[in-house]
Amino acid sequence: MSGLPWRRALVTGGAGFVGSHLCARLVRAGTEVVCLDNLSTGDRANVAGLEQRPGFRFVRADATDAAALAALPGRFDLVLHFACPASPADYLRLPLETLDAGSTGTRNALERARADGARFLLASTSEVYGDPLEHPQQEDYWGNVNPVGPRSVYDESKRFAEALVTAHRRVHGTDTAIVRIFNTYGPRMRTGDGRAVPTFIAQALDGTPLTVAGDGSQTRSLCYVDDTVDGVLALAASGETGPVNIGGTDEITVLELARRIVGLTGSASRIRFVDRPVDDPARRRPDTRLARERLGWQPRVGWTEGLRRTVGWFSHAAAA
């Protein structure tokens, strides 16, 4: 997407992995961006290059602080709510903060969007499907979530956020949309966030064993971050309310993913099997028919190219 229809956008969680890519895409298209982030899991270095450009402003604040959001000057015509710990290592370390981001943070971002008459988009997740009994997962599937398991702080935070967005639209007429983002990878991921791609790449580059959970037969369908950003902005620019799945459709086992990364890095690392986390989904692949038919969206960056770019970024970062 080149020209975008928004003059001014607020991105909560904008210094995070996906959020920072969204900020960059919006700025390149000429949209003024306010990036709000408390840096609990984000990194200001992710948007450092944008801070030198006109039309971009970084604000260190928490989305759960209603006064901070209300005090942001000017009017927004787009609010993208991405503020929430998203990796297992983060939401297990910050369980209450994760629940607050989905509840209070979402409510505050909705109220700012309502006050400004802005389009609001919630970044939800494939985790609302839990360990799915339906495959691939369609948007009308209600999910199979353990509400008291260790992952529940993230799963239920997003499920509540979806309910809150839906109620806000129904009661106040707020212009809202919900995107369910499936596993996304690419530059700016953190090596210690517990997700498979950055963990495997860091281990392969270090020459240490790649730690595959269980027997590695569980599957994931990853999407390169540029494609995810395209899908998010396509939904935001549409009249659709969602939820809409955005994710890759090429399903792969975690073990095969580890082997591909070893091959791409030329590493001599071996595979080491470790205990599988509680409630770790056995299969994960989105049905993206709605995104194709209503948004004209589908992934364009294939596995080989996406992983090559990601490995290159990690290699450069390690050498810097």
Q: Is 46 helix (H, G, I), strand (E, B) or coil?
A: helix
CA gyration radius, the chain: 19
The active-site residue out of 91, 129, 154, 224 is 154
For residue 78, list its beta bridge partners. Answer: 9, 119
Nearest residue to 78 (alpha-carbon basis) of 128, 33, 43, 134: 33
DSSP 104: I
Helix (H) or strand (E) holding 220, with range, is strand 219-220
Angle (CA) 23 165 134, round 5°:
95
Angle (CA) 91 162 229, round 5°:
75
Q: Count other Cβ atoms within 10 Å, centred on residue 215.
A: 11
Helix (H) or strand (E) holding 211, with range, is strand 210-213
Distance (Å, rounded) from C-alpha 144 to C-alpha 133? 7
Distance (Å, rounded) from C-alpha 239 to C-alpha 127? 25
Nearest residue to 41 (alpha-carbon basis) of 178, 154, 129: 154
Helix (H) or strand (E) holding 186, with range, is none
- Bridging pattern class, strands 252-253 and 219-220: antiparallel
Q: Is 57 helix (H, G, I), strand (E, B) or coil?
A: strand
Q: Catalytic: 141? A: no
Give the catalytic positions in this structure: 154
